[in-house]
Amino acid sequence: MSNLVEGKNIVIMGVASERSIAWGVTTSLHKAGANLIFTYRQERSYGKLTKLLDKHNIEAKLIIPCDVASDESITNAFNSIKEKIGVIHGVVHSVAFANREELKGEYANTSREGFLLAHEISAFSLVAVTKAAKELMTEGGSIVTQTYLGSERVIQNYNIMGVAKASLEASVRYLAEDMGKYGIRVNAVSAGPIRTLSAKGVSGFNEKLGVIEKKAPLRRNVDQDQVGDATLFFMSELSRGVTGEVLHVDSGYHIIG
The catalytic site residues sit at 148, 158
Q: What is the CA radius of gyration of the chain?
A: 17
143/42 Cα distance (integer angstroms): 23
Closer to ligand NDP by Cβ: residue 17 or 99: 17
Q: Which of 28, 198, 221, 243 binds ligand NDP (CB under 6 A)?
A: 198
* Contact by Cβ (8 Å): 246, 190: yes
**Is 78 a residue that touches ligand NDP (CB under 6 A)?**
no
Torsion sign across C-alpha atoms 103, 42, 230, 78 = positive
**Is 45 a residue that touches ligand NDP (CB under 6 A)?**
yes
Closer to ligand NDP by Cβ: residue 8 or 248: 248
| Rounded least distance, CB 29 to ligand NDP, Å | 15
| Rounded least distance, CB 241 to ligand NDP, Å | 24
Contact range with ligand NDP by CB under 6 A, out of 101-109, 175-183, 193-201, 211-219: 193-201
Closer to ligand NDP by Cβ: residue 95 or 132: 95
**Is 163 a residue that touches ligand NDP (CB under 6 A)?**
no
Q: How many residues does the chain have?
A: 257
90/24 Cα distance (integer angstroms): 16
Nearest to 184 by CA among 79, 255, 91: 91
**Is 179 a residue that touches ligand NDP (CB under 6 A)?**
no
**Is 35 a residue that touches ligand NDP (CB under 6 A)?**
no
232/247 Cα distance (integer angstroms): 12
Nearest to 166 by CA among 221, 212, 118, 200: 118
Q: Which helix (H) or strand (E) holds 240?
A: none
| Rounded least distance, CB 116 to ligand NDP, Å | 13
> Given the rule CB under 6 A, which residues bind ligand NDP?
14-17, 20-22, 40-42, 45, 66-69, 94-97, 121, 146-148, 191, 193-194, 196-199
